[in-house]
Each structure stands twice: as C-alpha cells, then as structure tokens.
Amino acid sequence: MHVLHYIVSSNWNVSYLILNKGQVTILKFGFLFGAGAEIDYNMPSGGSFALEIFRRDASGSKIKFKTMRDAVNSRSRYAASWLPVDYKTKNISCYGKSVFEAIIKDTIEHNRNKIIENLNSFDTAATSIVRKIQDSSGKLVDDAFKNIIGTEVRNISMRQDISFIDVFQEGDKLFANNYFSALLQVYSLSDKVSGETRTELRKILIAILQLQIGALGENLSRRISDNLFSKKIDEVDIFDDLGELVQLNYRSTGVSGLEYLLDCKRTSPRTDEEVVLCFAQELLENIFASVLDYKSLIDSNWHYLYCPNAEWAKFCKISIFLLTVQEYIEEQCSAADRTGIGYYDELADALAAGKLDVTAIATTNYTGLISDIMQTDIIYLNGSTNLWYDPYVNKIGTRDELNRKEPHITVPLMFTQSGTKPMTSIGMSVQYVDMYQRFKESDYICCIGFGFNPDDEHINGVIRTLVDEGKKLIVIRPDKGKTAYDVQVEISDALKVSESDNIQVILVDRDRKKDGECWAEHISSLP
C-alpha cells in the first residue's frame, strides 16, 4: 500500500515522501530558468529586445537620472570625490545612432556564421512571417506576390542569374530562396510597382545583402589574418607584427539596415504592394533580431559607471541606458500574458500539489514575472528590475537600502553576465555560493530556457562543476526536430563537461508536455 505525505512550508519548500514497503524516496530539485522560459508569457528576448530599447524615447529615464542627481548632497564626500565639480549643471546625454556602428561590428564579428546560416535559410524565416501577417491582418502574402509578379512564389529562383565571386560562394544559397527571389522580382517591376514601394524595398534588399556580404567578408578577413602566409619562418618575428591588414567598413555592412528598422513607419497592409512591403519589413526585423549582439556595448561602457568625475557624459549614457532598459522590461511585465500558462505556473502548481521538493530556484532573467507567479525567494543571477547597484561602493540592494545613509546615483542591476564588477559584490558572491550549495543538495538540477552560452560562463562553471561531480542535469527543451541525444551532445560540448552521461534532455511539445504529460509531472516521477 502506498502512503503519500506532503509537508509544505511557507517558502514553498516541499518534501515529497513516498512510503512503499518501508522504503523512503525523497526527490529534490534545483531549478535554473533562462530567457526561453518566458516566451509563453510573450516577453521579448534577444535582438527583438535590443531593437525595442533603441526605439524608445529616453526622456523619462533622463528625468529619473536628474532626480537622482539633484537628490545628492553636494556637500558630501560622495559629491566631492566621486562626481565632477559642476555635476548639477553639466549636460546629460544618452546613446544615439552613433553607437549603431559598434553594435553592427560586434554582431558581424561574433555572429558572422549565424548570419550566413540564417540568410541562406531565408525561406524558413519567411514562412513564419507569412503566418504572422495572415494571423494579424488576414492578408495572404503568397497571393499578394502572385498578383504582382504573375506566378507562385515557389516558382521563382534567382540562383541561375545571381551569384557572388568564388571566395563568397558560401552565400550563394540566399539567391536560391524563393521569397528573396520574389522580393527581387517585385523590385524589378518598375512598371507594376509604385516608386515609393520600390524605394522602400531597395533599402530592405540592400540591408539584407550588406549583412550577408559583411558576414562573408568578416570570415574572409579572419582567414587572411590568421593565415596570411602559406609559409613563413617562425624565428623572424616581423611576420607576427603585420596585424590585421584586411578590415571591414562596418558602417557599410549593416548600419543602414538597423537605422531603417528603427525609423520606418508601419501601417496596416491593405493593397498587394503594402502586404509585400509589410512582409519585407517584418522579415528584415526578424533577421536582425535573430543575430543582433548588443552585449559588447554594455561591456565596453560599463566601466564608465566608476569614473563619473573624468567621464561624465559616458557615465550619463550608460546610466540612462540601464534606466531605459528597466522601464521597458517593467512595461513588458505589466503587459505580459497572464491568462495563459507557462513554466512558472506549472512549477507553482506542482509545488502546491506537493509533487516536488525544491532546494533553490535561480534565474538569469531580469523580470519579476517568476517572483510574482511563484511567490517565493528567487536567486537572480544577472540582476533584476527590482535590484539596484551603487558603483561608488560596489554594493547591490533595493533603492531604499542603498540610499538609507545618503542618496547616490544608482543604476538598475542588469547586464552583469559578462563578468563586470557587480559580480564581485559580496551580496552577489553570497548568492552564487548559496545556489551552488543548495543545488549540490539536489538529486536533480533542472534547466529550462537556459542556453549555456559563452557569456554565461560564470553560471556554466557552477553547473559544469556539479555535473562533473556526479549531479544529474535535466534540460527541458522545445522539440525542434533534433533528437534528445543530439541536444545532449550540444549541451555537453557547450558546458565542456567530462561526464556527459549525467545530462538528460527532455523534449517537450508546444504545450510543454512530454508524451501528453506536463513536464513538471514528468520529472516528478523520475527514478
């Protein structure tokens, strides 16, 4: 006879005890959530997030910054030693289009292979945009193309007519894609398409080609720089001092596309031309959103938070940027889809039913969604919208805590994943040690929506250590056609673990179910 006992405490820690013929089994889980866990709540992520940030009006954030500045006691040691003499009257500025070149440079340098791969699979992204437009407006993109060019999209291919030079032939697959070919065909029909539409399509097509050429060019310049000589004498060091002779003009490889996306006006499509243009704009945004890399902007400017006296303008820009990001995320949280069900709700239900024993819940996300839904303590590994940072004393806390003794200019604690100084704060160090110890007490560590990316190495290192020590890692992933084994190999390689057998991948469907069973129910019955 099975006897079930549930012991529920105020912080959601639950012991799940199964008494079966005198044997007691206690399953303990530690949870780590990443950005993928919030997709079902319609939260933006990745490049889409970056695009929306740079679209925002920063005037509200400027006001918040000025309020903090004006609250500083001008006679304090903080004002005298940390801030410039005329800090109350100096200009305050925020990031503008001047940073776009740096963003594109980072994007092409870090994601060049992904750019080529995505553009060579142009039709894959195009198909999702076709569905999106049909769902939102009821318009059929394929019909709009057919009405303009006189044939089905699937019948059009430019691969026989257009190709790159031999060194760029990797990018030729772009021209074999039906939807890209169809866009080129529409643009070429000057007698059937208005000048205004052709002008907009021209900007979009050039932006796509520039991005592809930029990525191909970056690959070529890397190969040349890495292997400039087929033979050389190692003892003659002049060959080592030649440096990077071939470099791209990053302003010409994607800045115009980024500027176009941030400035273009969108309207509800009615005519066939408007449907095709809407499709092209949405597709361009999808392409940029899938590859855009803005983390280096943070990494290269974060240190200005520590020198406002010498770099007041740059101090203001990074501070206002972080305030803008916080404002945007809070707005998105307020508008998040709370009517549906996501991973947080399902975990909360499993805990309420006493089906899991949770040692710790950690997240790399900045939102307060998980705290609102779970109603328990959460370890925020990269900061959050509710946490603030005082660079003057390298301290983390709420605004009230940080300003209890005297008001300082503080910033929301976010974008700390690349090892910036907040990671050395004693408060953050304690959280990491606490998570490690509590995960170590678990039978399983369950990761959901976490990518194990290089920028997350400070977290990867914790997971790697636990896995190599024998801890079992469960990774919940959406089923995208790859086998569980293939995903397991990818994760093992990303984590660089020596004990890959300790990693188990569970692929779930769109409703987060495995074989018709909720993922939380499924892991609760693991051996």
Residues composing the chain: 527
Q: Do residues 444 and 480 share a domain?
A: yes
Q: Do residues 289 and 357 share a domain?
A: no
Q: Do residues 278 and 131 share a domain?
A: yes
* Domain end (from 394, 416, 438): 416
CA distance 57 to 299: 23
pLDDT on residue 100? 82
Q: Do residues 351 and 290 share a domain?
A: no
pLDDT on residue 420? 65
Burial class (CB in 10 A: 0-12, 13-18, 19+), 261: buried
Could you tell me the CA-to-CA distances from 37 to 70, 370, 481, 483 in Å, in that order?
39, 10, 19, 20
Q: Do residues 142 and 233 share a domain?
A: yes
β-pair type (411-413, 395-397): unpaired
| Segments in 83-194 forming alpha helices (H) | 100-120, 122-137, 141-149, 178-188
Burial class (CB in 10 A: 0-12, 13-18, 19+), 259: middle
Judge contact between 363 and 33, C-beta under 8 A: yes
Q: Do residues 283 and 330 share a domain?
A: no
Q: Do residues 285 and 426 share a domain?
A: no
Q: Do residues 211 and 254 share a domain?
A: yes
**pLDDT average per 10 residues of sequence, the chain (527 residues):** 32 39 64 92 75 86 96 96 94 86 83 92 93 89 94 93 91 95 93 90 94 90 71 61 62 82 84 94 90 79 93 95 92 79 93 90 92 91 91 92 94 73 79 94 95 87 94 95 93 91 95 94 88
CA distance 103 to 360: 36
The count of other CB atoms within 10 Å of the CB of residue 102 is: 17
How many domains, the chain? 3
Q: Do residues 466 and 514 share a domain?
A: yes
The answer to whether residue 3 sits within a structural domain is no
The domain that holds 486 is classified in CATH as 3.40.50
CA distance 156 to 21: 69
Q: Do residues 397 and 473 share a domain?
A: no
The answer to whether residue 47 sits within a structural domain is no
Q: Do residues 502 and 354 share a domain?
A: yes
* Domain end (from 295, 327, 356): 295
* Domain end (from 416, 434, 461): 416
Q: Give the distance from CA 166 to its chain's centroid.
A: 34
pLDDT on residue 9? 32
Judge contact between 358 and 13, C-beta under 8 A: yes
Domain extent for 352: 26-41+341-382+421-524
In 3D, which of 458, 130, 335 has the Cα closest to residue 450? 458
The answer to whether residue 48 sits within a structural domain is no
The answer to whether residue 120 sits within a structural domain is yes
The answer to whether residue 15 sits within a structural domain is no
Judge contact between 309 and 54, C-beta under 8 A: no
Could you tell me the CA-to-CA distances from 467 to 87, 344, 440 in Å, in that order?
50, 24, 10
The contacts of residue 176 (CB under 8 Å, 6+ apart) are: 157, 158, 159
The answer to whether residue 2 sits within a structural domain is no
Q: Do residues 375 and 460 share a domain?
A: yes
The answer to whether residue 115 sits within a structural domain is yes
